[in-house]
Amino acid sequence: MPPKRSIGAAGSRGMSSRTGSSRGRSSRQEPRTAKRPRQQAQSALAWGDDDPDAGDSDSEDGDGGGGAGAALSKERKEVEEAKEQAEAEARETAEEKRLRLARDVLMKLDAEQRENREEGTDEEDDDAPGDYIGDRLAHARLEATGQLYREVAKGLQGQQISPTAVRHMRGHKLSPTCVVLSPDDTTAFSGSKDNSIIRWDVETGKRVTMLPHWRKLPGGKVPSVKAHSKEVLTLAVSGDGRYLASGGRDRLINVWDCRTDTVVETFRGHQDTVSSLAFRANSLALFSGSHDRCVKHWDLNEMGYVETMFGHQSEINAIDSWRKERLVTGGRDRTVRLWKVLEDSHLVFRPVGGGSIDCVRMLNEDWFTTGGEDGSLALWFAMKKKPAMLVPAAHGYSAVGIPRWISAIGCLKQSDLVVSGSNDGSVRLWRADVEARSLEQVASVPLEGFVNGLAVSSTGKFLVAAVGQEHRLGRWEHQKKARNEICVVPLPSGAEDEVAVAMDTESAEEDQGDIDGEEAG
């Protein structure tokens, strides 16, 4: 620190060259300089100095501040560095943030490997650090590109799922019709025939909030709240977890901000019931299917309409999408259609048994499953007209000998796990082996009532089911013993095993010449 007289001299020169107001400001700086030793002493006490006089004794040294001054300087430097870091993080783009976080992860992994080497855990393998980091990066790349294949259902083989482990969450007055999970698996959203949407905490099993919904008021008054005025039939959550889309019999699509639980946009355009919704992964592209036989494409970045796709000859009841700009739909015209959005065309698949197709789910870009009115569960390959595997009467037969209607299908993307529901009193878990082209039941969970919606967590640790007294699309049958509830079913630990395998995309290209599905422009 320079001698005090040099500071005074600089101050004198400054006063001689400035206006009177400037001299006033310069003179006000001197009292702060005079009080600095006391502030340094107080700072020293704040940092845990046991001796109250330590700051005074240090201030007599030739450096003009001693330990207290160094502590104060260090504190100020840390505050300034924290501010600069916060400002830099605020200015950085999303890509820069990803790169920064990736560097932090690599540094952390490198530090862990150095620590392991010091402890002698990696003495036998000199290449272990590089291999470990490389494996983690390869694993992350496969997961990010949708090529990480997980053998979840294989680990469920022979496992028992206890009915007492199922958590029951009640809040809807009428039958729940749909259920979805947030990307982080902490929150579930359910829709119901009572026009309501409920947010649930999956871990605690408690209702967080009931989103604003339409209710009849005395005297025939119409409520001013933005909400569905009729049954909610479908829900979808965006990949970033920010938006929830809902549709129902009022022909509207409401877009909710999950942070505020308010409607930020309402899409109008469908001429009949909105029966199905799906977001494309890692985007804000939303697709809707309706009983007006149309598929509509919406963009939540611009909060607007994009296009309408035609093809179905009757009501559309189910829709699903994955990473590519394509989607799968099923309807009452007894067809399954694979839409290629960019090419403005689609493929038509006609199931063998016939009957309405009421649920579809994509396992990956080339494989999907369907279920419907005829009770059959089918596994499809996108390049083949006929199903690769068909399980007739997957949920058995009713008392009058009719196959039970498959009312819901769920799956874990990029895995072999498929779940299906009906009104036979159980949810069935299947292993979809795309290599062997087979569907094998591996487990079941007792659930009384109509299973109207199924969602599997991204970790494969649990599934969520919407169970009600009635089918989601009608009131053909009423089960009085059933309860209107949302059920959380934990899956055995064996289901968490995963295998990092790049999906064989070349097989689809090799079979390109074998495609015999009907193509419509």
Reported residue count of the chain is 521
- pLDDT given at position 443: 92
User: What sign does the dihedral 268-274-280-282 (CA atoms) show?
Assistant: positive
Least confident range from 218-227, 311-320, 443-452, 498-507: namely 498-507
DSSP calls for 460-489: SSEEEEEEESS-TT--S---TTS--EEEEE
- pLDDT given at position 456: 96
Domain 152-516 has CATH 2.60.40.10: no
Least confident range from 17-21, 210-214, 477-481: namely 17-21
- pLDDT given at position 363: 94
Q: For the residues 379-407, what does the mean pLDDT come to? A: 93
Would the pLDDT of 378 be above 80?
yes
What is d(CA 333, CA 474) in angstroms, rounded to the nearest whole number? Answer: 18
Please write the tens of the pLDDT for every residue from 164-199: 999 999 999 999 999 999 999 999 999 999 999 999
Which residues does residue 289 pair with via DSSP β-bridges, in sequence order?
276, 295
Q: For the residues 6-13, what does the mean pLDDT come to? A: 41
Burial of 228 (0-12, 13-18, 19+ CB in 10 A): buried
Instruction: With CA atoms as reference, report the closest residue to 363 among 414, 433, 397, 295.
Output: 414
- pLDDT given at position 15: 42
Would the pLDDT of 39 be above 50?
no
Q: Which two tokens stand for residue 380?
A: 């499809």
- pLDDT given at position 77: 75
Mark residue 120 as left, alpha or beta (left: phi above 0; alpha: psi -120 to 50; beta: remaining): left
What is d(CA 236, CA 287) in angstroms, rounded to the nearest whole number? Answer: 10
Confidence class for position 115, pLDDT limits 50, 70, 90: confident
User: What sign does the dihedral 269-272-274-275 (CA atoms) show?
Assistant: negative
Would the pLDDT of 349 be above 50?
yes
User: What sign does the dihedral 496-458-337-517 (CA atoms) show?
Assistant: negative
Would the pLDDT of 25 be above 50?
no
- pLDDT given at position 20: 41
- pLDDT given at position 76: 77
Would the pLDDT of 521 be above 50?
yes
What is d(CA 274, CA 251) in angstroms, rounded to the nearest whole number? Answer: 5
Q: Which two tokens stand for residue 391?
A: 């399980």
Would the pLDDT of 109 be above 50?
yes
Q: At what angle do helices 128-144 and 94-119 cross, to 10 degrees?
A: 150
Please write the tens of the pLDDT for every residue from 242-300: 999 999 999 999 999 999 999 999 999 999 999 999 999 989 999 999 999 999 999 99
Please write the tens of the pLDDT for every residue from 72-100: 677 777 777 777 777 766 666 666 666 77
Domain ranges of the chain: 4-91, 94-144, 152-516
Would the pLDDT of 19 be above 90?
no
What is d(CA 303, CA 305) in angstroms, rounded to the nearest whole number? Answer: 7
Would the pLDDT of 34 be above 50?
no
Q: What is the DSSP letter of 385?
A: S
Q: For the residues 378-402, what does the mean pLDDT come to? A: 93
What is d(CA 201, CA 280) in angstroms, rounded to the nearest whole number? Answer: 25
Please write the tens of the pLDDT for every residue from 464-473: 999 999 999 9
